[in-house]
Amino acid sequence: MNNLKFAFNYGLAVAIVGIIGLYLQNMVEPGSVYASIISILVILLMVFIIYSGIINYFSQTGKKIQLSDSIKISLIISLIGGLIYGIFSYIYYEFISPSTKEKLVKYALEQSKLSGEELEKAKEFMENFYGYSTFAGAIVTVAFIGLITGIIIGLWKKEE
């Protein structure tokens, strides 16, 4: 079985969950309870998809679950998902909805204690860097979720 082809389907599902979460979070106020709830739900759904991918991979291949293979499959799934989600996030904030980026930058600056020239420098930096940081942040976050999920499943199912 081709690991990459198998993982692409689950990685695409992870990316779709992230994209839906991105849209939902942009409908609510930044920093609100609803934004936090959406984040938690998105993470839980991603964990479930990665878990399902790992379990289905081992059931289809007939292999016994080992920690290293569990981590490998989870990282492949999560890196594919994170890459697709990251690319979409960048395109979304830079081209589809730059006003959303401005709203989030404004919120972040309101939460900071900066004023005057420091505030202007921070605003300029955040506006220029926001798209790239969301791209990198999406990949790192989803990869971390995948790594932790793979380790937990590898250790948990190894005993069975």
**Cβ contacts of 160 within 8 Å, gap of 6 or more:** 65
- In the chain, the largest separation of any two C-alpha atoms, in whole Å, equals 63
Cβ atoms of 139 and 86 within 8 Å: the answer is yes
Burial bucket for residue 57 (CB in 10 Å: 0-12, 13-18, 19+): buried
**Distance of alpha carbon 122 from alpha carbon 101, whole angstroms:** 14
What single-letter DSSP state applies at residue 91? Answer: H
What's the pLDDT score for residue 5?
81
What's the pLDDT score for residue 90?
92
Q: What is the mean pLDDT of each run of 10 residues along the chain (160 residues)?
A: 81 97 90 93 97 93 89 95 95 88 80 75 76 88 96 81
What's the pLDDT score for residue 1?
56
**Distance of alpha carbon 148 from alpha carbon 142, whole angstroms:** 10
What's the pLDDT score for residue 159?
56
What's the pLDDT score for residue 92?
92
Structure tokens at 28: 């609510």
Q: What's the pTM?
A: 0.88
Q: List phi, psi (to 5°) of 109.
A: -70, -35
